[in-house]
Amino acid sequence: MARLLPGTRALRTFEAAARHLNFTRAADELGLTPAAVSHQIKEIEDQLDLVLFTRTSRTIRLTEAGNVLFEASIDALDLLGRAVTRARKMTRGTALLKITLDAQFATKWLMRRVDDFRRQRPGIELRFDIASKLRDFDRDDVDVGIRFGAGKYPGLCADRLFENVIIPVCSPALLRAGPPLTEPRDLFHHTLAHIEWSRQGITWPNWRMWMAAAGVDDFDDSRTIVFDTSTDVVQAALDGVAVALADFAMVANDLSEGRLIRPFELGIKVAPEFAYFLVYPEAVKDDARIVAFREWLLDEVAKDADAA
């Protein structure tokens, strides 16, 4: 019976073709040619003695038998993927801790401090998965994650890290070149940068909100530059092309080391339900590596809170 079942590679090809209902898009996803996908599907059909797709000159559709195999292939590939992930974690030993996090948190906060963890915990090796895409602890070879969100993650422990406070920052060069920044209305003479982000009816603080908090009610936001990521906003400030609204925690080092200046003390807090969280599966919360990293991370966060 085992010889009647398609192999894993063939099953992945079938699943992609069935999901897209298009051999060309399946081929693009798998790094194959459409002809190779078509050939593998034909081999599976011949092997199983089943017709899995009905074909016309322009479209393909799953047959009833194809639908049955498609649903089973999704479950089988998912189960196998989770098993491989568990096996990898079991065989790589207890000294390695893999952390997934976004690029901004990595470059602006964690990497500047990670040598301290390594000095304190020389027996734990840290490796990083830098990605904006959320990882699945059951399917991806990672142990803990640092993510921005609402902190509601079923099956996961979530430790809140920062109270996000958004502040204006600029480069010393911009301040020297002028015009001067002595009161909020002076910002009208500069290019202003912020990100545009909203979720669940909550908007990330922007310049209009900051100006309102500063008592400026006639602000014209036509001179603002809107970015998709906080990294780009901070870079605009570092390059001296704009005064930016940035998360204090992400620019604390730039401020302390003089690369950025905080021209006004006024900051706006992000809605409390959104923050950076350290997340990890409940089933491994007592893992010594995770406990050590969690304790160190929360201690570093507390130091920043004291500095703010």
Residue-wise pLDDT for 204-227, tens only, equals 888 999 999 999 988 888 779 999
Mean pLDDT to the nearest integer, 66-74? 91
Return the pLDDT at 117. 93
- Band of pLDDT at residue 131, cut at 50, 70 and 90: confident
**How many angstroms from the chain centroid is the CA of residue 214?**
32
What does the block give as tokens for 169? Answer: 């920052």
Return the pLDDT at 193. 94
**pTM summary value:** 0.64
What amino acid occupies position 222?
A: S
Residue 92 pLDDT > 80: no
Return the pLDDT at 1. 45
The length of the chain, given as a count of residues: 308
Return the pLDDT at 30. 92
Residues 126, 304, 238: CA angle, nearest 5 degrees: 85
Mean pLDDT to the nearest integer, 78-88? 75
Mean pLDDT to the nearest integer, 150-159? 86
Return the pLDDT at 134. 80
| 141-145, 149-153, 170-174: range with lowest mean pLDDT | 149-153
Residue 300 pLDDT > 70: yes
- Band of pLDDT at residue 128, cut at 50, 70 and 90: very high
- How are beta strands 243-247 and 192-195 bridged, if at all? parallel
CA torsion angle for 119, 120, 126, 132 (degrees, to 10)? -100
Residue 257 pLDDT > 60: yes
| 63-67, 106-110, 258-262: range with lowest mean pLDDT | 106-110
- How are beta strands 192-195 and 224-227 bridged, if at all? parallel
Average pLDDT over the chain, rounded to an integer: 87
Q: What share of the chain has pLDDT > 90, as a percent? A: 48
Return the pLDDT at 168. 96
- Band of pLDDT at residue 164, cut at 50, 70 and 90: confident
Residues 154, 268, 168: CA angle, nearest 5 degrees: 120
Mean pLDDT to the nearest integer, 284-290? 89
Return the pLDDT at 284. 87
Residue 108 pLDDT > 50: yes
Residue 203 pLDDT > 90: no
Return the pLDDT at 244. 95
Residue 120 pLDDT > 80: yes
Q: What share of the chain has pLDDT > 70, as a percent? A: 94
Q: What are phi and psi of 285, to 5 degrees?
A: -65, -20
| 124-138, 229-243, 294-308: range with lowest mean pLDDT | 294-308
198: exposed, middle or buried (Cβ count in 10 Å: 0-12, 13-18, 19+):
exposed
Mean pLDDT to the nearest integer, 131-143? 83
